[in-house]
Structure 1
Amino acid sequence: MTTPGTIDDVATPIRVLARRSGEPWTDAEYAAVVAELATGTPVDQIAKELQRTPGAVRGALRLLTPPSLALRGPAAESWLREQLAATPAYDWRASRRAHSNGTYWTPSADAILIEAWRRGTPLGELAATVGATELHTHRRLVQLHLSHSVLDTVDRLGCTPGGDLEARYLVARDEYRSAVWVLTINGLLDQYGTVVDHISVHSSRGAAAMTLERLTSTHRATAVTRRLSVPPASWRLVGRGLDAAAYGLGHPDTAGEIPSHRAA
């Protein structure tokens, strides 16, 4: 008679193997798959090491074969193993890039983007260097947290007149001008020493910032004058325009804390 397994006995292996299920694949993971295939490692073992499901690994294999071959599943696996055995230097990144219409980003391409952003390299020149469109280059700059929006990208690097990115920039610029800025502060001390929550709407980011500065000054002065010990107050500034949802342009939210004060 066998002893019934616990929930952990049954569920833990599944959670471990699929822990990264649904997460975007990185260049390092694709490289690991290729290296393991070249040494004959079974797909199930590769999946275990990468904390992916075997199905996800097989799906990745398809992206590492030329799109023109239309290989899937076992056929893609077999073709890759044979190709890697015959040609160890097989350029699997070219196949991966072809499957994504040229928007597959490698660590070396990311490094170029980071340096170009620092230097202010014109976007058209940068896009040509990494072999992508200006729009795809902009999106990657946002993914790398270099740019917050199309406004940031074009204001810093420019764009080609009449292109797709310029059209988005013009829409974003108009949406930015019509935006409102909402300031919220939790745990704020007013001039009477009462802890309150604050919310206000402003026509510009600058006006909201000035209000935050004024309220912060009052918060600190009240704490000192009344010798109050209070925890940090948290604030958040959100910019929104009428077309933000439709165009997905929005504005970068900012947040922070007003440091706590301890009575002497």
Structure 2
Amino acid sequence: MATVHDRSSSGIRAQLAAMCPAELGLARSLAAEWTVRRLQRGDGHYDWRRSLRAKRRVYWSMDDDQLLRTAWADREALPVVAAHFGYVEHDVHKRLTELGLSTSYQATLTQMGATPTGVVSARARRESALPPLSVTVLQVTGMASASGPVPVAVSLHSSRDAAYMALRELTRLHQAHSARLRMGPASWWMWPRLVDSHRPIGRDESGSIAPAAS
């Protein structure tokens, strides 16, 4: 299953545990066994989406994605859309960017609006406070990839949100291949700067990407 989905074994176990009914309190190591037993008995059908949401996990089905596309095209109010799905506005914004509909908090705010005191509005204001023609730089060092180790990877993004999307993909790659390449954690840095200058113009962030669990 991990190979088919290009995920680590620990990632698959974690997702299985999240999909099991919350009231069972199953550990990751028991989730796969419980799921297989349910399927073997022919009673594997249960509301696993409810289980995910009970554990505050966000899940989007293909039908949900289509509803989001329609809501975006029709410029439906973000607070209403978020309430429909039972998620916070920021969760909906993240999915809109993953679907390629929105490119920034400001784009979401312009298209669908947002609660004035909410996270989306606040981050849109922060984006608009940056000087024009700015980009967010993402640098990752010591990263694993399908083709081998990558000493340094640098990319430019139109917004911090877009940079975080790229970081999620690089995290997935590192965790998928770090064990095979026997690599440890990777490090990342992110900062905004003007397009025509290397001088940072805002706060920087940094962190590490843990390798896949053995």
TM-score, structure 2 as length reference: 0.56
2:93 equivalent to 1:134: no
Q: Say which one has the larger Rg.
A: 1
* Aligned equivalent of 2:59: 104
Gaps of 5+ in 1: 1-45, 183-236, 247-264
- Aligned-partner residue type, residue 116 of structure 1: A
* Aligned equivalent of 1:143: 98
Between the aligned partners of 1:238 and 1:59, the Cα distance in structure 2 is 40
Q: Deviation at 1:50?
A: 4.5
Between the aligned partners of 1:242 and 1:163, the Cα distance in structure 2 is 25
* Aligned equivalent of 2:43: 87
Q: Out of 165-174 and 141-150, give the one that drifted further.
A: 165-174
Secondary structure of the 2:117 match is coil
Going from structure 1 to structure 2, the CA distance change for 1:171 and 1:56 (only over 3 Å counts) comes to closer
Aligned length: 144
Contact 1:102 1:131 survives alignment (8 Å): no
Secondary structure of the 2:58 match is coil
Between the aligned partners of 2:119 and 2:38, the Cα distance in structure 1 is 39
Higher relative contact order (CA 8 A, sep 6+): 2
Going from structure 1 to structure 2, the CA distance change for 1:239 and 1:145 (only over 3 Å counts) comes to farther
1:243 alignment partner, one of 184, 202, 206? 202
* Aligned equivalent of 2:110: 155
Contact 1:179 1:239 survives alignment (8 Å): no
* Aligned equivalent of 1:18: none
Question: 1:56-95 residue pairs with structure 2 within 5 A?
Answer: 56-84=11-39, 85=41, 87-95=43-51
Higher normalized strand content (fraction of residues): 2
Contact 2:52 2:58 survives alignment (8 Å): no
Secondary structure of the 1:59 match is helix
Contact 2:79 2:114 survives alignment (8 Å): yes
CA RMSD of aligned residues (A): 2.9
Contact 1:83 1:90 survives alignment (8 Å): no
Between the aligned partners of 1:181 and 1:51, the Cα distance in structure 2 is 34
Q: Deviation at 1:83?
A: 3.5
2:112 equivalent to 1:179: no
Between the aligned partners of 1:140 and 1:238, the Cα distance in structure 2 is 27
Between the aligned partners of 2:9 and 2:120, the Cα distance in structure 1 is 39
Gaps of 5+ in 2: 136-193, 206-214
- Aligned-partner residue type, residue 179 of structure 1: P
Contact 1:67 1:95 survives alignment (8 Å): yes
Q: Deviation at 1:110?
A: 1.0
Between the aligned partners of 1:152 and 1:112, the Cα distance in structure 2 is 18
TM-score, structure 1 as length reference: 0.47
Between the aligned partners of 2:113 and 2:203, the Cα distance in structure 1 is 22
Identity %: 31
Q: Deviation at 1:126?
A: 1.1
